[in-house]
Each structure stands twice: as structure tokens, then as C-alpha cells.
Chains A and B, each alone.
Chain A
Amino acid sequence: MTTAPSPERTRLTHSLVLLLPAVLFGLLVSVQWRTQAERNELTVRYNTPLLDAAKTLQNEQSALKVTLAELRAQLDQIQTSASTQSDAAKDLQSRIDGLKTVAGLNERSGDGVEIVLDDARGAAAAKDVEKSICHNTDLTDIVNQAWRGGAEAIAINDERIVGSSSIYCVGSTIMVNGTLMSPPFKVLVIGPQNELLATYDDPTQLRDIKQRRDIYGLGFRVSRATGMHLPPYRGALNVRFATPR
């Protein structure tokens, strides 16, 4: 035999059932509002003209690189046709072509490895944003490791890495050879596959990246790749102060 609960007890139970969701509701509303407020602060009115200027300069750079490539091709054509005139010219042209290839000024095709680096996605990323996103130093470490493994040519998202290349970070934006980029970063490396895979597998190397991949879900994947085509370097050679001895 059971006794029916008193009306006071029923009301109390109902109130308690509603209390917990209500508190959580309030918490979430406030967190959501704060997130929104922070974003609004970042998109302040002063950013608009700066943003426009940055985009204009980036578009200008793309157009300038096309003009530069066309002029280089024209000069190459003149040189090549002139090199048939004498043995000395032929020899010089052959040395120029060789240097262009090793310096990254010619397109390069071949086998090697592909490395994909990406910001963490999912719940693990929320644990520590700094450790779950890719930084420019991760890319410099990956490039350093590729050269260590015997790489012959490297490109990051279609930007060829050469002697004057820099991987720079401003705020959360990464620039490679002055080109603005965002993740995922695809690093194509032409070189001896087994040596390259071994150098990336070496547990004593890239420890920070591997640890962040395992704990925070940072995207880092290395795989064999065949028949890759790497573009030539398209930026300025920038030899103004240096003279050969």
C-alpha cells in the first residue's frame, strides 16, 4: 500500500527538475553572449580599410608574380636562342639552367612524400587552442626535417621553398614567400621516399608536433606520394646587396 505524495512535495520535485536545466541554460546563454561579444570587438570599424588594403596588396602581388614569370620566360627565350651562336654562350646557358634547377626556379616533378598539417577539429581542440592549431614554426620544423631527409624540392600550398623563402606569422595568418595562407597546409616533398619517411618517423624528431597531434588532435599526416609536380619559385630573387667574390 502506497501513500500519494503531498501537493507541496510534488511542487518541490517539479521545481527541482526545472532548476538544473534553467541554471545550465543561463550559463550557456552567458557563454554564448561573451563569445559573440569578443568577436564583435575584433571586427572593429578600423579593420575594414586595413582589410581592404591587405586584400588589394595580395591581389597586386599575384598579378606582379604573373608579370615577373612572363619576363623571366622572355629573357630565357632570348638567352636560349642566343646560346646557339657560340660554345661560350652554350656553356653559360647550360650552367644557368643547372643553377636554376637546384635553386628552385624551375618546375620539378617526381616522387616523395606529402605532409598534411592542419588545425585540430573537434572537442580536443577546445582544450588548448594554442597547442591545437598550426604555427609557422611547425612548418619551419617540417621543412627543416625534409632537407635533413634528403629532399630535393619542397612546396607548401603551391609556394616553392627556396634559399630566400620565409614562413612568417602575423596574428593567426601565415605567409609563405609573402603569400597569405591558412590551413590545411599541404607540404609536397620530392626526394628519396624511404629516407624521408624514416626521418619523419624518427621519434626523436618533431616531438612537439607529434605530442600535440596525440593529445590535442593537431592534424599531422605523412604519406608516400608519386608523380608530384612542384611549381617554380615565383617571387623576386632579391640580390641587391650581395656580390659574388
Chain B
Amino acid sequence: MKSNAGVISVTIVALFLGVLAVTQIAAQDVYSRSLQLETPASLTTLIANLSERNNAIKDEILDLRHRTDTAREAIASGKGSLTEAERQLSQLRVFAGMSATSGAGITVRVEGTFDERALSDLVNELRNAGAEAIAVNSVRVGPRSWFGATADRALTVDSVAVRGPWQVRAVGSPEVMYVAMTRTGGIIGQFELIYKGTRFDVSRESALDLPALATPLR
């Protein structure tokens, strides 16, 4: 009788143990990415990013409404819509990197050890900050551009070697891009921790001249 009680106790404990072990493994098994688990700081950054995106879309909606009305009126009055078509063409040529481009922006100077993945991350960060056109040294970065490296430590943009010190120039809002690059915990701060000894300088530019893509896209 006494022996049976012992067996029952051990069985109950073992059952609990099993349930808990499974629960614990399941808890560690799937890394949850629910928005609900984000910190207030992350959510605030996320909200700022979404707001900026939405504002850019709203601006473009207003612009498109105006252009649609203007084009309709021009056609109705027999003038045709060449002006609108020319405007659209020049906007697309900038967007696709097919025309040399000017404008205000920033320059990121990199002197020292750097690699192609970091260059790709830098370009990604500039695009997220609203860069409208980017060039590395004298090579324009296009919609299908890729980054690589050569055996003699040069970097490549679409197979074209670009040697350090590198100048990554981006046309866009100088203030927005400058703050995005230099903020505490931002990409330049992270680079400075990873590439010790490499010098990173970010400067606002009132006028930048970027070349067009060397090989037009097809």
C-alpha cells in the first residue's frame, strides 16, 4: 500500500515535469515577432517611419490629382498632353538612374577598411532616409545595382571598381538624411564600432552633381 502511494507520487511529479518541459521548449522554439512584443522605443521609431512614408504618398497623391486635372484640361482645349508626358519622363529618368542628376543632399566619406556588405547596408539606409539618387565615387547606383569586392580590396558597383577613400553621395533632404546617418545608434555609429580605425564623415551638401548609369537598363 505504502509502495503504491510512492509510485503514484512519482508519476504525478513526472507528469507535471513532462508538461512543463514541453511548455518551456515550445516557448523557446518560436521566436515571436509580434508587434505587441516591441518596446515603446521601437514602436515610436516604427510610427515615425510609417508617418514619413504616408506623408510622401499623400504628397504624391495631391501632385497626381493636380497633374491629372491639368492633362485633362490640356487635351480638352486641344493642346495635347506633351507637357505632362515630358514631366513624367524626366521624373522617371531620375528614378531609374538614367539621367545625370543634381540637387541638395549629403556626402558620406569613408576612409579605411570597409566592405561590400557595409556599402550595401549604407545605400539601403540612405534609401530608407529618402535618398532620391545615389553615387559611389563617380559610379551611379541604379535600381538593379549590386555591390562586390575585388581581390585587391577595391569595392565594385555593378562590376566597376571603386577604390577608397569612398565618397557616397546622395541627393535628397539634407537634414533628414544627415540625422538618419548620424543619430545615436545609427548606421555610422555602428560602423565606427565595427570598423575601428576607419574614418567616417557625413556632411550636408547644397549642390551635388551625380552621373547617370553607365549602362542604361533594358
Interface residues of A (CB under 8 A from B): 14, 17-18, 21-22, 24-25, 28-29, 31-32, 35, 39, 42-44, 46-47, 50-51, 53-55, 57-58, 60-61, 64-65, 67-68, 71-72, 74-75, 78-79, 81-83, 85-86, 88-89, 92-93, 95-96, 99-100, 102-105, 119, 121-123, 125-126, 129, 132-133, 136-137, 140-141, 144-145, 147-148, 151-152, 162-168, 170-173, 175, 177-178, 180, 182-183, 235-245
Once bound together, how far apart are the Cα atoms of A13 and B27, in whole Å? 34
A242 touching B128, Cβ below 8 Å: no
Q: Which of B11-61 contact A (CB under 8 A)?
A: 13-14, 16-17, 20-21, 23-25, 27-31, 33, 35-40, 42-47, 49-51, 53-54, 56-61
Report the minimal beta-carbon distance from A102 to chain B, rounded to whole angstroms: 4
Chain B residues near A25 (CB-CB < 8 A):
13, 16-17, 20
Chain B residues near A175 (CB-CB < 8 A):
46, 49
The SS class assigned to the B binding surface is: helix
What are 17 A-B interface contacts by the 8 Å CB criterion? A43-B37, A51-B36, A57-B51, A82-B75, A96-B88, A99-B96, A102-B96, A121-B30, A152-B144, A166-B125, A173-B46, A237-B60, A239-B91, A242-B132, A243-B94, A244-B99, A245-B99
Chain A residue at minimum C-beta to C-beta distance from B55? A236
Chain B residues near A152 (CB-CB < 8 A):
144
A54 touching B46, Cβ below 8 Å: yes
Once bound together, how far apart are the Cα atoms of A132 and B116, in whole Å? 23
Once bound together, how far apart are the Cα atoms of A95 and B120, in whole Å? 30
A100 touching B35, Cβ below 8 Å: no
Chain A residue at minimum C-beta to C-beta distance from B81? A82
Report the minimal beta-carbon distance from B25 to chain A, rounded to whole angstroms: 7
Chain A residues near B132 (CB-CB < 8 A):
164, 238-242
- Apart from A18-B6, A57-B47, A242-B133: 10 A-B pairs, beta carbons within 8 A: A14-B6, A25-B13, A60-B54, A64-B57, A68-B57, A92-B86, A237-B91, A241-B173, A243-B94, A243-B102
